[in-house]
Chains A and B, each alone.
Chain A
């Protein structure tokens, strides 16, 4: 389940198929351009898409100027809907691989490349960037979540382990890479609330090969986390509980 330095891809090497890197962005005008530029510099062969989730600031404009294709949702639809949009673009655009990362600059692009390498090499259908993987050694100055967040994250991790029978160290990370099979699954449906949990449950249920890759996270440059509110936990529990009652649909059909 672990990938270390073995999957180093040299920048000159071309990915084995068309790849889309997308990032959901809600009012991230201070960071999105830098993230777009670093993705384009590190991975010149991939297409970069920013999903502007109804931002009220200059996110779309700044992202476009940095060289990204921008899909603007007319109103804020939440992270799940934004990611769903990305997977739909990947499916409709005939991309073989896709990956997404946060637009706030928390994910180093080098880590994104390692994640993509695992799907490029067909070692898994879905690669998850894990911040809490035991094999990952967070360097000083890395990402340090608050206590409340740590409790929440560990709660959902345990629940998912309980209901899926598979253990994950990080279920809410916004860093993922997917191949065509996972793209089709997520483009078909991606839940607006807690889509990251539900999509993971569904991936396990549908028998995707999932791999966790330890990643290093940077502290947030600007903006604030959207995960707060007490009813957050209630809804999350509901999603995981009901998700555990679902059966596999085994749909491979493109939509």
Chain B
């Protein structure tokens, strides 16, 4: 493993590492703040938090990226960084799509439940009205 790591060199400048760390940290804090304000539910934040914390970890320990780069078969840690980020984003988007699908199904069902609950019984027909011939509008004979 150590030999493999030494093959891939870490191509991250200090500047990009600091930037990535700050970005990841800011992102994580933003997520926590959104939860605190009840704008985000905890159940949808686990993946986002993983992405944020992962970014910080990669910036602080670039060796992690070297391991990832080696596993992916790429020589450059920058490529590995992007691969990890894009992988994380794809996961989050997929998760959200699953949630959206489930919710659209549930919204349909809720609308149906509401319509059924609100469905009024047919108006009570008076005796005289029954006797009189009903005009047929829009009904096929």
Which A residues lie at the B interface, using CB under 8 A? Answer: 74-75, 189, 191-194, 231, 234-235, 238-239, 241-242, 245-246
Residues in chain B near residue A189, CB distance under 8 A? 38
Contact with A238, one of B35, B109, B110 (Cβ below 8 angstroms): B35
- Whether A75 contacts B109 by the Cβ 8 Å rule is yes
- Whether B41 contacts A242 by the Cβ 8 Å rule is no
Residues in chain B near residue A239, CB distance under 8 A? 42
**Chain A residue nearest to B106 in the complex (CB):** A75
- Whether B32 contacts A74 by the Cβ 8 Å rule is no
**Chain A residue nearest to B33 in the complex (CB):** A245
- Whether B113 contacts A74 by the Cβ 8 Å rule is yes
Q: How far is the CB of B114 from chain A (nearest CB, A)?
A: 10
Label chain B's interface by main secondary structure: helix
The answer to whether B43 has its CB under 8 Å from any CB of chain A is yes
Chain B's interface size range is 10 to 19
- Whether A245 contacts B32 by the Cβ 8 Å rule is yes
Known contacts A75-B106, A245-B32; is A238 also within 8 Å of B45 by CB?
A: yes
Listed by A's residue number, 16 A-B pairs whose Cβ atoms lie within 8 Å are A74-B106, A74-B109, A74-B110, A74-B113, A75-B109, A189-B38, A191-B42, A193-B42, A194-B42, A231-B46, A238-B42, A238-B45, A238-B46, A238-B49, A241-B32, A245-B36
Q: How far is the CB of B42 from chain A (nearest CB, A)?
A: 5
**Chain A residue nearest to B109 in the complex (CB):** A74
- Not counting A74-B106, A74-B109, A241-B32, a sample of 5 additional A-B residue pairs whose C-beta atoms are within 8 angstroms of each other reads A193-B42, A194-B42, A235-B42, A242-B32, A245-B36
Interchain CA distance A251-B35 in the complex, whole Å: 19
Interchain CA distance A107-B36 in the complex, whole Å: 33
- Whether A193 contacts B110 by the Cβ 8 Å rule is no
**Chain A residue nearest to B37 in the complex (CB):** A246
Interchain CA distance A75-B45 in the complex, whole Å: 22
Residues in chain B near residue A246, CB distance under 8 A? 36
**Chain A residue nearest to B102 in the complex (CB):** A75
**Chain B residue nearest to A78 in the complex (CB):** B43
Contact with A242, one of B36, B46, B110 (Cβ below 8 angstroms): B36
Q: How far is the CB of A13 from chain B (nearest CB, A)?
A: 38
